[in-house]
Structure 1
């Protein structure tokens, strides 16, 4: 742990951070929302790009995220995300029993402007989110799954888990789409991340164990 961040990888081009649940990925609006992965990183590396986050994890979600430290690196990594060349796997504990062993979900959703940041299903006006999933175990009437998102919509995995047209089974601790209460630990963790290093061209892969297992 350095400067309040757990580094999984760091070089002159990019950083991979194992973000704890409860920490913002990037600063928000207002003085009470300035503490984040990005603000902590820039305190340690003041020379890095002002906005190095290539992708974001929800505040309640823990796990791996990659940051590009310079403009060219950030653009290179962003292009990999856009081309779906980045491998991302999440482990989630669902609040109930799920039928089936795996599959693919496609649901379109959008922001509910009257209930921010809540997202709502909207097959006509929403943006499609695509998630592959597989069951990996059960525990006390709950189901452990791996999610592989092919798109990066806001709250995508939480919605795909909870919505009746998805798995119909919210993530444990989800206070927006499930039975969790504010402050509960969301049982969703970005457990694997793979991408091509923008300087060396080497394929890199990282893993992180979910803290709730």
Structure 2
């Protein structure tokens, strides 16, 4: 059963990792929406907070509310279009850190499981080999303890809840996941998923640039 979503965004100052005339890169805290929610009381989000400080902020991509880490925003329409293509054409390279329940084996691997929305149980996503959209993830184990595994995840596509469902399908749900984890795996104060780094081409110079946000757990 998916618990009711209670929105209580953290009251934290903006953590700007980098900015210039074309882009702003921010470390998004867990618990803050990337964009405004559809229901009343969910207007507060990272985009609106950034726009108060930098009026020209334009959305490029999103992170789930419960996920922390690197997000990039554009400051011009041209930059927004360029960065959008970096994601759409899969030139942008992303790395996440997750703490998952159980022993993820082997130490590295590739997941290729198509995903679609589980409409009766939205926002839940599910594997659907007939109608799902292609979704691929690579993983590399970082460390292990008795009950959990710390893993670096490399999404090759950008489907909704992709990493969360792909880990669930390996029998290792991400700790603290309010949608996909159950029992002891859910009993954590936050979703243990962090967008560690993002690398792509700069919209003005064309240079390959990389940004990283420190791990909060």
TM-score by length of 2: 0.89
Q: Which runs of 5+ in 1 are unaligned?
A: none
2:13 is the counterpart of 1:8: no
| Paired position in structure 1 for 2:195 | 190
| Paired position in structure 2 for 1:102 | 108
- Contact kept, 8 Å, 2:176 with 2:190, in 1: the verdict is yes
Q: Secondary structure of 2:139's match?
A: strand
| Paired position in structure 1 for 2:3 | none
- Distance (whole Å) between structure 1 residues aligned to residue 159 and residue 211 of structure 2: 22
| Paired position in structure 2 for 1:91 | 97
Between 77-86 and 12-21, report the one with greater CA deviation. 77-86
- Distance (whole Å) between structure 2 residues aligned to residue 66 and residue 189 of structure 1: 15
- Contact kept, 8 Å, 2:175 with 2:187, in 1: the verdict is no
TM-score by length of 1: 0.91
Between 117-126 and 174-183, report the one with greater CA deviation. 174-183
- Distance (whole Å) between structure 2 residues aligned to residue 110 and residue 4 of structure 1: 35
Alignment of 1:80-159 (within 5 A): 80-159=86-165
Structure 1 counterpart of 2:213, from 190, 208, 213: 208
Q: CA RMSD in A?
A: 1.5
Between 144-153 and 198-207, report the one with greater CA deviation. 198-207
Q: Which runs of 5+ in 2 are unaligned?
A: 1-11
Number of residue pairs aligned between Structure 1 and Structure 2: 204
Note the alpha carbon deviations across 1:122-173, whole angstroms, 9 max, x for none. Answer: 110111211011111113321011100010000000000001xxx2210010
Q: Write out the 4+ residue segments of structure 1 that deviate beyond 4 Å after TM superposition.
A: 180-183
